[in-house]
Structure 1
Amino acid sequence: MLAWTFATVHRVQIAVITRFLFLPDNPIKPIDYRKVNGLNTALIDPFALPNAQGSLTLINNFIFSCARTGFLKGLAKGITGLAALGRSNISIPVQINKVFPSTPNCFAICLSRSISQPGVALFGSRGPYNFLPGIDLSKSLVYTPLLLNPLGKDSEPDKPILSSEYHIGLTSIKVNGKMVALNNSLLAINGEKGSGGTKISTVVPYTKLESSIYKAFILAFLKEAASSAFNLTTTKPVKPFAVCYPASAVKNTQVGPAVPIIDLVLDRQDVVWKIFGSNSMVRITKKSVDLWCLGFLDAGVNQMVSSWVGAPSIVIGGYQLEDNMLQFDLQSKKLGFSSSILSKGTDCAKFKFPTKIV
């Protein structure tokens, strides 16, 4: 098993310049390459990651690229680059599996909500995933199939290209245990248009829902939050959010603000990704404002990811992934998920690293 903290600066020196060129990309603000002068050079160099034995594992001929700082525009403060974790031939998990083909072709991520205490990415292992105080999160995973979208964003009318992104089969949404009335046709991937379905994204800050799904979901949440179980009354929202509550009116629990639980029901009724207050509500504090806001956004209708390919109906964003253990098993084509690990008395900053790195 190879581990990588998201705050670690790995010790790499650029040694060899390859003979091919590379187009760096920013998924938040895509680059118009018609306005870019020249291409960036792809680089190959050794890359070292700590392993389960406490030493460093060297990966020779690791492909990466450097780009101008302008490519970071729109990303979170402090970000210095992007780590490719998709299905492309040069993503980190794919490159690692090519070097170590006998290890499981899977990786796991646990995103920390702390700026100063990083989360962890684990490659080539289905577990154990040991977190303080002595918890193996691999035993807490529930599994659902990883789906392939036959039309990726780079597809053309006469040249379909499989999506390199990760999709899951969400079949319904519940709020406080009650089903939200949705247009179920939007929940399936449209193989002819590439639209619909549910995608997981670490680069989208907050979960985005197609407009009709969003409106039905918001109404359901408002109704349940106003019920006697929570007795919450909305206040003036803060953009980009549409639903906010005074922080003083919201009780706190082990899994965050006491608000209606959101259930993402997947391929079976008993396969449920639970979203508690820690992942559904965003704290807004500025000047005299102190609010908890519902961290879901309206994605609009008939959105496109390219000139030819439609957008997913639901994109599960990074905030909803924080303090959740996710295992992407590319070999078995399934996603393992834990729901919030705060309920287990740990968080993503508490991975138990080997005691010695040499």
Structure 2
Amino acid sequence: MSLSPKLFIFISFLSFTISISIAQTSFKPKALVLPISQDTSSSTTQYITQIKQRTPLVPIKLTLDLGGGHFWVNCEKTNYISSTSKPILCTSSQCSLFGSHGCSAEKICGRSPSNTVTGVSTYGDIHSDIVSIHSTNGNYSTRAVSVPNFLFICGSKVLQNALPKGVTGMAGLGRTKVSFPSQLSSAFSFKNKFAICLSSSSSSFPNSNGVLFFGDGPYKLNNDVSKVLTFTPLITNPISTAPSSFLGEKSSEYFIGVKSIRVSDKNVKLNTTLLSINQKGFGGTKISTVNPYTVMETSIYKAVVKAFVKELGVPTVAPVAPFGTCFASKDISFSPMGPGVPGIDLVLQNEKVKWSIIGANSMVSVENNDVICLGFVDAGSYGAKADQVGFVVGGSQPMTAITIGAHQLENNLLQFDLDNSRLGFSSLFLEHDNCVNFNFTSSA
């Protein structure tokens, strides 16, 4: 039987469409990439990325939460319209990925999403939908790829309080099966690694983007920074440090084993028992992108400040909130590495492995640059400074002894290797490189 011309054309077009679809879905990227912008419009500096989600695809701005366990967006009323969104039933395997969960009268799986900037939590149904992100060969951004059935929690408008204008949710990068890194590595079968590089607030390239990689290197800025990483084990806190959690849940945040602190290569005398995590989950050192500055338990803060002021040898001036230790900028020298101040080292698993915090990361200019402050915050003064510091579990009696804040992370590339439970880190100041140097414009 011969085919009519119209039927032949239709079948040919259908075959072509199917082949294109197969080509698109069969492409397996080795890594993905997202830009990171810095937003200073709210009381606390936040780091924002943008993905595409839903059908039809729409751009979604999200605050990055390094230790957050979940991805949530505001789904109230007209804020969420998509033909591919599906609720997750309590009896499904997808629901079990969230561990402990609630169950609505309609048998829809639910969890409590949290705004980790404010510490506010609500309850929301869990859904899945399509997400689109650009792939990368490590040198530049390449084609966009889609992930169907990407899991997220429906948040509410109240959770958006303190998030920048236009931001409708948070992207959790933490140690759970449903965080961004875990879902993406599972979808494309690449290594469960991600690397984050926050651009500097004092960058010579204002409004330039930092970068977030999912998957293994290369991580090409000026150079392949994946080749110059120092590694330290990631530590699991057996007790959740989230604003809201179920009994028995482990922390989804990233902890490292700081053994001691040095200022100008001299040991700081402090209560080292605070540097270890006890059975109740208190103590230790974690890394955060939602706390803009490093927050220290009071006795640790005072010991570090005392040593720092002594080594710097210049008079202090009236402090500027949220900081407690400030100096006149005219008394401080400056170089391409930032302010000329004593180096602060976090000594890790042995004396040879240390996270060095140079002046560009330790100091913050304020008061029209006339004053410069040590960018660490005393947890004991948290109550009066909460809106500038971000949420701290325990407040003035912090659950975590040291929270390394985002300013101290800027222009450092951090690789979180979840398969091997280790952190790789490198200061780009020391490598004469910059987080803004990734090429987002070229494409294959």
TM-score, normalised by the number of residues in structure 1? 0.86
Aligned residue type for 1:140: V
What secondary structure sits across from 1:83 in the alignment? strand
2:364 aligned residue (275, 282, 302)? 282
Give how far 1:52 is off: 2.1
Distance, in Å, in 2 between the alignment partners of 1:123 and 1:336 is 14
Distance, in Å, in 2 between the alignment partners of 1:68 and 1:31 is 11
Confirm or deny that 1:168 pairs with 2:250.
Answer: no
Report what 1:352 is aligned to: 439
Give the structure with the higher percent helix. 2
Distance, in Å, in 1 between the alignment partners of 2:165 and 2:404 is 21
Distance, in Å, in 2 between the alignment partners of 1:256 and 1:79 is 32
Moved more, 62-71 or 21-30: 62-71
Report what 2:36 is aligned to: 6
Confirm or deny that 1:217 pairs with 2:304.
Answer: yes
Give how far 1:299 is off: 1.6
Give how far 1:49 is off: 1.6
Query: For each residue in 1:167-206, what CA deviation from the matched residue of structure 2 results, as whole angstroms up to 9, or x when unmatched?
Result: 000001000111100111111110x210011111111111
What secondary structure sits across from 1:153 in the alignment? coil
1:272 aligned residue (354, 358, 364)? 354
Give the direction of change, closer, same or farther, for the CA distance of 1:155–1:65 in structure 2 (3 Å limit).
Answer: closer
What secondary structure sits across from 1:10 in the alignment? strand
Report what 1:244 is aligned to: 326
Aligned residue type for 2:293: Y
Give the direction of change, closer, same or farther, for the CA distance of 1:330–1:284 in structure 2 (3 Å limit).
Answer: same
Matches within 5 A, 1:62-73: 62-73=150-161
Give how far 1:247 is off: 1.5
Distance, in Å, in 2 between the alignment partners of 1:58 and 1:213 is 46
Distance, in Å, in 1 between the alignment partners of 2:209 and 2:290 is 16
Query: For each residue in 1:67-95, what CA deviation from the matched residue of structure 2 results, as whole angstroms up to 9, or x when unmatched?
Result: 34432333467755321000122210010
User: 1:147, 1:169 within 8 Å by CA — same for their partners in 2?
Assistant: yes
Report what 2:19 is aligned to: none
1:256 aligned residue (309, 334, 338)? 338
Aligned-residue Cα RMSD (Å) equals: 2.7
Which structure has the bigger radius of gyration? 2
Matches within 5 A, 1:56-95: 56-75=144-163, 79-95=167-183
Give how far 1:111 is off: 0.8
Give how far 1:159 is off: 4.2
Report what 1:342 is aligned to: 429
2:113 aligned residue (8, 24, 41)? 24
User: 2:33, 2:213 within 8 Å by CA — same for their partners in 1?
Assistant: yes
User: 1:46, 1:58 within 8 Å by CA — same for their partners in 2?
Assistant: yes
Aligned residue type for 1:219: K
Report what 2:28 is aligned to: none
Distance, in Å, in 1 between the alignment partners of 2:164 and 2:284 is 27
1:121 aligned residue (201, 209, 212)? 212
Confirm or deny that 1:196 pairs with 2:283.
Answer: yes
Distance, in Å, in 2 between the alignment partners of 1:256 and 1:306 is 33
What secondary structure sits across from 1:278 in the alignment? helix
Gaps in structure 1 of 5+ consecutive residues: 34-38, 227-231
Report what 1:36 is aligned to: none
User: 1:17, 1:41 within 8 Å by CA — same for their partners in 2?
Assistant: no
Among all aligned residue pairs of Structure 1 and Structure 2, give the percentage whose two residues are the same amino acid.
41
Aligned residues: 337
Give how far 1:160 is off: 2.2
What secondary structure sits across from 2:429 in the alignment? helix
Give the direction of change, closer, same or farther, for the CA distance of 1:155–1:245 in structure 2 (3 Å limit).
Answer: closer
1:149 aligned residue (218, 222, 237)? 237
Gaps in structure 2 of 5+ consecutive residues: 1-30, 38-48, 55-81, 89-108, 384-391
Report what 1:233 is aligned to: 315
User: 2:298, 2:378 within 8 Å by CA — same for their partners in 1?
Assistant: yes
Aligned residue type for 2:180: I
Distance, in Å, in 2 between the alignment partners of 1:130 and 1:271 is 24
Aligned residue type for 1:220: A
Structure 1 ranges of 4+ moved more than 4 A: 75-80
Distance, in Å, in 2 between the alignment partners of 1:52 and 1:310 is 39
What secondary structure sits across from 2:170 in the alignment? coil
Query: For each residue in 1:101-150, what CA deviation from the matched residue of structure 2 results, as whole angstroms up to 9, or x when unmatched?
Result: 3x21111000112561121110111x111003xx1111111000000111
1:44 aligned residue (114, 124, 128)? 128
Distance, in Å, in 2 between the alignment partners of 1:212 and 1:47 is 45
What secondary structure sits across from 1:131 in the alignment? coil
TM-score, normalised by the number of residues in structure 2? 0.70
Distance, in Å, in 1 between the alignment partners of 2:362 and 2:394 is 29
Matches within 5 A, 1:270-349: 270-286=352-368, 290-300=370-380, 305=393, 311-339=399-427, 341-349=428-436
Give the direction of change, closer, same or farther, for the CA distance of 1:277–1:334 in structure 2 (3 Å limit).
Answer: same
User: 2:221, 2:437 within 8 Å by CA — same for their partners in 1?
Assistant: yes
Distance, in Å, in 1 between the alignment partners of 2:379 and 2:324 is 13
Distance, in Å, in 1 between the alignment partners of 2:439 and 2:352 is 30
What secondary structure sits across from 1:300 in the alignment? helix
Distance, in Å, in 2 between the alignment partners of 1:201 and 1:154 is 12
